[in-house]
Amino acid sequence: MNTQVDTIPVVSGSERSGALIAATVAFVFGVGLVFTTGFAHPTTIHNAAHDTRHALSFPCH
Amino acid sequence: MITRVLAVGLLAGLCAGLAVSALQSFTTTPIILAAEVFENAEEAKADSAAFDAGADRIFAPAQPHLILVHGDARSEEDSAPSNKEEWAPQDGMERTVFTSVATIATAIGFALIILAGMLFSGDVINEQRAMVWAAAGFVAAGLAPAVGLSPELPGMAAAGLPGRQEWWLATVLCTAVALWLFLRSDNNWLRLLAVPIVLAPHIWGAPHLAESHESGVPAELAAQFAATSLAVQATLWILTGFFVGFLWHKLGYLNARPAA
């Protein structure tokens, strides 16, 4: 029905576990990036990302 | 799989982040710059007061949590008022570039979080579904925390930063869990459970200053900024979701071709 490329609902267990590993890696990287730009305290990071933090309504200062 | 996920996340974040950086440069950034004029005036006033009052002001028990934006955060770190300039991007081109980089990095983060959620739940990844996930992301990370902590401009008085960040994170988590229960559960009791979960952080209450504090920033500017920044964040989420779905297909075909 569906082609392999289009679908994520995967059939085999190993593909499913591959998807879960990829999801975990993506989640860790994603949260890490958002934390760095939105939350990290070091002044240099704060100053560089300052306008973005305000513009995306992260708590700033 | 991991390569595809990371490639889609990077590219989707890059595309959405670039577009929203352009949007920011004529929506939120001008308001931030306008507010900084008031912030600097306020800071100058606070500095001269500090010279007059000396240690009295720093140890004044009456205002234990008053953070006058950048001024006090710096003097807390340095512990003595010094004129040492900390690095900050130069106004103009440099500042725009750093803001764009930070926005792109945030968009990449959003893209990876959307991908992680969709892969965990075994969803089909396409434009429509990824945009629904993105909309949920905006509700959880934009709308819900803004109810308790409205988007701030430089120069506005606010409670201590760690407390606000903790409340923000807790609210995002609660809202995300509640949305999941409400939208993905077949059990009506679990859907009902989503209601107290989404309300909990707001009943607990966001940290605010005990006494009301005159802000140097005009209310009109602050209100305009609150609405604009939420719109900008919504745009960033939706565009990121769109590009996640779009590129997932494109990169999937590229990957599939050599194997075929």
Chain B's closest residue to A22, CA to CA, is: B2
Question: Does residue A49 lie in a domain region?
Answer: yes
Q: Do A61 and B73 touch (CB under 8 A)?
A: yes
Buried b (16+ CB within 10 A) or exposed e, B179-201: bbbbeeeeeeeeeebbeebbeeb
Question: Does residue A48 lie in a domain region?
Answer: yes
Closest Cβ opposite residue A61 in set B69, B88, B122: B69
To the nearest whole angstrom, how far is the Cα of A16 from the nearest Cα of chain B?
Answer: 8
To the nearest whole angstrom, how far is the Cα of B11 from the nearest Cα of chain A?
Answer: 13
B124 touches chain A (CB under 8 A): yes
Question: Does residue A61 lie in a domain region?
Answer: yes
B249 touches chain A (CB under 8 A): yes
pLDDT for B62: 43
pLDDT for B92: 86
Give me the domain span that covers residue A43: 29-61
B240 touches chain A (CB under 8 A): no
- Which residues on B lie below 8 Å from A9 (Cβ)? 122, 124
- Which residues on B lie below 8 Å from A5 (Cβ)? 249, 252-253, 255-256
pLDDT for B38: 87
Pairwise CA distance, residues B126 & B242, whole Å: 8
Pairwise CA distance, residues B193 & B254, whole Å: 43
CB pairs under 8 A between A and B: 182
Note the pTM of the prediction, 2 decimals. Answer: 0.83
Total structural domains within chain A: 1
Pairwise CA distance, residues A9 & B123, whole Å: 6
Question: Which residues are CB-neighbours of A42 under 8 A, at least 6 positions away?
Answer: none
pLDDT for B49: 59
Pairwise CA distance, residues B94 & A37, whole Å: 17
Average confidence (pLDDT) per 10 residues, chain B, 260 residues? 94 97 94 90 69 48 45 41 69 92 97 96 94 97 94 87 94 97 93 96 91 81 94 97 96 61
- Which residues on A lie below 8 Å from B70 (Cβ)? 61
B213 touches chain A (CB under 8 A): no
Pairwise CA distance, residues B213 & B209, whole Å: 8
B137 touches chain A (CB under 8 A): no
Question: Does residue A46 lie in a domain region?
Answer: yes
pLDDT for B207: 92
pLDDT for B46: 66
Convert the pLDDT of each residue in A6-47 to its tens digit: 555 545 678 888 899 999 999 999 999 999 999 999 999 999
Q: Which of B226, B223, B147, B14 is nearest to A56 (CA)?
A: B226
Pairwise CA distance, residues B122 & B7, whole Å: 19
Segments making up each domain of chain B, as ranges:
2-45+90-159+208-259
